[in-house]
Amino acid sequence: MKKSKLWGGRFSQKTDPEMEIFSESLSFDKILAAYDIGVNRAYAKALQKIGIFTRKELDRILNNLEHIAIEFQAGTFPFEPGDEDIHTAIERRLTELTDGAGAKIHTGRSRNDQVMTDVLLYMKDKNRETQAAVRTLQKNSLALAKTHRNTVLPGYTHLQQAQPILLSHYLLSLFWMLSRSFQRLEENFVRLNVMPLGSGALAGSAFPIDRKFLARELGFERVSPNSADAVSHRDVLTEFSGILTQISVTLSRYAEDFILWSTQAFGFLTLSDAYSTGSSMMPQKKNPDSLELIRGKAAGNIGRLTALLSLEKGLPLTYNRDLQEDKVQLFAIVNNALPAIKIFAQVLATSRFHKKRMKEAIHPFTLATDLADYLTEKGVPFREAHAVVGKLVRDCGDTGKNLNSFSLDEFKAYSPLFEKDVLDWLTIEHSLSRRNIAGGTGPEAVENSLKEAENILKQETNG
C-alpha cells in the first residue's frame, strides 16, 4: 500500500524530508500510546452508537486496538517513517489491521481535541503519582521530625545564625511547604478532569457524539464547555508544570541546606552512601550528588516552565502547531520533578543527623533576642532594650567575651534592671520554651504541629 499522509488529499507535492523530521513529534509523544489507544477505544464505541461503525466493525476495531496495545507493550509496534505523531501512527496501524474500517475512526474528530484529551489523561495519572510521592516525602519528614523532638540547631536568616530552633520544627517546615503543593495538585486535578474530546478542530464535532458517554468511558468528570477553549488552552498544563516546578524549587532549597550541613564546616549531617558519590581522583571525598542534582535539575524546570508560558503568549486562537512543543516541556518537567521527590524522600530517610554537633554549633549570640526580651519584660521599650543588648554584643566582639560568660555585675553595668534570673534566660531550652506560640519552635507548639501533621496524613489513609 502506498503510504500517504492522513491529510494527503489536498496536497500534490511531497513534504520535504527535512520538514518531515522537523515537524514530527512521534519521538516524544509516543509515550502517550496507551492513552491514545484508550481514547480510540472510547471514541469507536461512541461512533458505533451513532451508526458510523456497525457492531461487527466495532468489535474488529476494539480487537485490533487491543492488538496494537500489545504491540506497544512488547515493543514491536511497526512504526513507519512517515508517522508524524502517535495519533497518526495508531490510526494508520488500525486502518491497516481492519481492512479500512479504521479509516472511519477520525469521523468528527481532530488531532486538536484528541491530543489534548491524551495529554490530560497523562497529566491526571502523573498528578496522582506526584501526590503519592509528595505524601511519602511528607511522611518521611514527619517521621524524622518525631525522632528529633529534642534535637536543637541554630536557625539561620541571611545564612547568619539567628535563633535556636528544634530540628523537628525545621523538618516540619518541609512538611507544611509540601502540604500546600499537595493542595495545589488536588485543585489542579479538578481542572485536568474536563474532557476536550468532541470539540473537533475548534468548532465542535458536527456528528452527534455522546460526549457524556465518552467522558464516562475515559474517566473524565465533565465535558469541556467551549470547543475553542478546549483545543487552545494550555493553562491547566502550565499550572501542573508550575506546581511541579515549585516543588522542584522547594526541594532545591532544602537540598541546599543539607549540602551545607554535610560539609566539614557544619558537620550537622552525614548522607547515606547510597545517595552520595566519590571522587575519581580524591580518595577521601564523599559528595552529596543526589542533593546537588535535585538542586541542579530544578534549574531546568524553571527554564521549561518559562518556555511553556512563552509558547502560549501571543498565540492566536485556536490551535497552532506551536502547541505541539508543549509536550517537550511537560514531559521533561514531569520526568525531572518526580524522581527528585522520590530521591529526596529517600535521602531524608537515610541521612544521619548529628545532634551533638548541631547543639555545639549554636552561638550564644543567638540568645541576644531573648536578652532584649528580658529587659522588655522589665518594662524597657523593646527598641531601647535592643540597643542595650546591641552594645553588649558589640563589646563582646571587642573583648572576645560571649553572652553567656558575663557575670551579673557585668550585666548590671549595661542596665540596672538585669537581675540574677537573667542567667537562666541565656539557655537554649529557655529560649525555646518562650516560643510555644502557635506555629513557634517551642516544644509544645512543635508537639501540636506534629499532631496536626499526623492527622492530615491519617485522614487520608482513613478517607
25 binds ligand ARG (CB under 6 A): yes
- Minimum CB separation from ligand ARG for residue 271, in Å? 41
Q: Which three cell numbers stand for residue 48?
A: 458505533
CB closer to ligand ARG, 178 vs 231:
231
Those residues with Cβ within 8 angstroms of residue 22's Cβ, 6 or more apart along the chain or in another chain: none
Closest alpha carbon to 275 in 339, 337, 332? 339
Alpha-carbon gap, residue 29 to 25, rounded angstroms? 6
| Alpha carbon separation from 295 to 67, 239, 260, 364 (Å, rounded) | 43, 21, 13, 32
At closest approach, how far in Å is the CB of 80 from ligand ARG? 16
* 188 part of the interface to ligand ARG, by CB under 6 A: no
Nearer to ligand ARG, 321 or 383 (CB): 321
Looking at 71-79, 144-152, 159-167, 317-325, which segment touches ligand ARG (CB under 6 A)? 317-325
Contact window for ligand ARG (CB under 6 A) among 110-118, 212-220, 272-280, 369-377:
110-118
Helix axes of 111-147 and 326-350: crossing angle, nearest 10 degrees = 10
Residue 112 binding ligand ARG, by CB under 6 A:
yes
Q: Do you know the residue count of the chain? A: 463
CB closer to ligand ARG, 112 vs 366: 112
Give least dist CB 200 to ligand ARG, A. 11
Which positions are catalytic? 158, 279
User: Which span sits near ligand ARG by CB under 6 A: 66-74, 161-169, 320-328, 333-341?
Assistant: 320-328
Q: How far is the CB of 325 from ligand ARG (least distance, A)?
A: 8
Contact between residue 200 and residue 109 where contact means Cβ atoms under 8 Å apart: yes
User: Does residue 323 belong to the site contacting ligand ARG (CB under 6 A)?
Assistant: yes
DSSP state of 366: G
Question: Looking at 151-159, 170-178, 259-267, 315-323, which segment touches ligand ARG (CB under 6 A)?
Answer: 315-323
Q: Between 311 and 428, whose beta carbon lies closer to ligand ARG?
A: 311
Least CB distance from residue 86 to ligand ARG, whole Å?
8
Q: Is 98 in the site for ligand ARG (CB under 6 A)?
A: no
Minimum CB separation of residue 106 from ligand ARG in Å reads: 12
454-463 contacts at long range (C-beta below 8 A, 24 or more positions apart): 454/142, 456/179, 457/135, 457/138, 457/139, 457/142, 460/135
The least CB distance from residue 25 to ligand ARG, in Å, is 4
* Helix (H) or strand (E) segment spanning residue 244: helix 235-261
Question: Considering only 111-119, 254-262, 298-306, 380-388, which stretch makes contact with ligand ARG by CB under 6 A?
Answer: 111-119
Nearer to ligand ARG, 220 or 319 (CB): 319
Residues of this chain, 388-447, that bind ligand ARG according to CB under 6 A: none
The values of phi and psi at residue 183, to 5°, are -60, -40
Dihedrals φ, ψ of 357, to 5°? -65, -40
Question: Least distance in Å: CB of 62 to ligand ARG?
Answer: 24
Q: Is 85 in the site for ligand ARG (CB under 6 A)?
A: yes
Q: Which residues inside 328-387 make contact with ligand ARG, applying CB under 6 A?
A: none
Separation of alpha carbons 257 and 159, rounded Å: 10
Nearer to ligand ARG, 115 or 123 (CB): 115
What separation in angstroms does the CA of 317 have from each of 95, 218, 313, 365?
A: 32, 26, 11, 60
Q: What is the DSSP string of 1-27?
A: -----TTGGG-SSPPPHHHHHHH--HH
State which residue, 185 or 332, has the beta carbon closest to ligand ARG: 332
- The contact mask relative to ligand ARG for 121-140 (x = CB under 6 A, - = no) is --------------------
Amino acid present at 169: H
Query: Beta strand pairing status for 222-223 and 269-270?
Result: unpaired
Distance CA 108, CA 237 (A): 25
- Angstrom distance (rounded) from CA 272 to CA 9: 62
Nearer to ligand ARG, 323 or 380 (CB): 323
Rounded Cα gap, residues 81 and 361, in angstroms: 64
Residue 237 interacts with ligand ARG (CB under 6 A): yes or no = no
Contact 116, 200 (CB under 8 A): no
Q: Is residue 35 a contact residue for ligand ARG (CB under 6 A)?
A: no
Q: Which is closer to ligand ARG, CB of 268 or CB of 319?
A: 319
Using CB under 6 A, pick the residue from 55, 158, 321, 383 that binds ligand ARG.
Answer: 321
The verdict on 36 binding ligand ARG (CB under 6 A) reads no
Give the number of residues in contact with ligand ARG, rule: CB under 6 A: 10
- The residue among 184, 171, 141 whose CA lies nearest residue 341 is 141
Rounded to the nearest whole angstrom, what is the least distance from the CB of residue 287 to ligand ARG in the complex? 40
DSSP 294: H
Contact positions toward ligand ARG, by CB under 6 A?
A: 25, 29, 85, 111-112, 115, 319, 321, 323-324
